[in-house]
Amino acid sequence: MKIKRVKCKSGLEGWETHLQNNYTSFEEFKVYSDTYALAERLGYKSPENAWKANPMLQGSVIPSDLRKVPKLSYGKYLTK
The answer to whether residue 74 sits within a structural domain is no
The answer to whether residue 25 sits within a structural domain is yes
pLDDT single digits (tens) 16-28: 999 999 999 999 9
Coil, strand or helix at 27: helix
The answer to whether residue 39 sits within a structural domain is yes
Coil, strand or helix at 14: strand
The answer to whether residue 77 sits within a structural domain is no
Q: What pLDDT sits at residue 70?
A: 86
Computed over its alpha carbons, how large is the radius of gyration of the chain? 12
Residue 20 to residue 24: CA distance in whole angstroms: 7
The answer to whether residue 9 sits within a structural domain is yes
**Closest alpha carbon to 33 in 18, 22, 52, 46:** 46
Domain boundaries, position 54:
4-68
The answer to whether residue 80 sits within a structural domain is no
The answer to whether residue 44 sits within a structural domain is yes
Number of domains in the chain: 1
pLDDT single digits (tens) 17-76: 999 999 999 999 999 999 999 999 999 999 999 999 999 999 999 999 999 998 765 556
Q: What is the DSSP letter of 55?
A: -
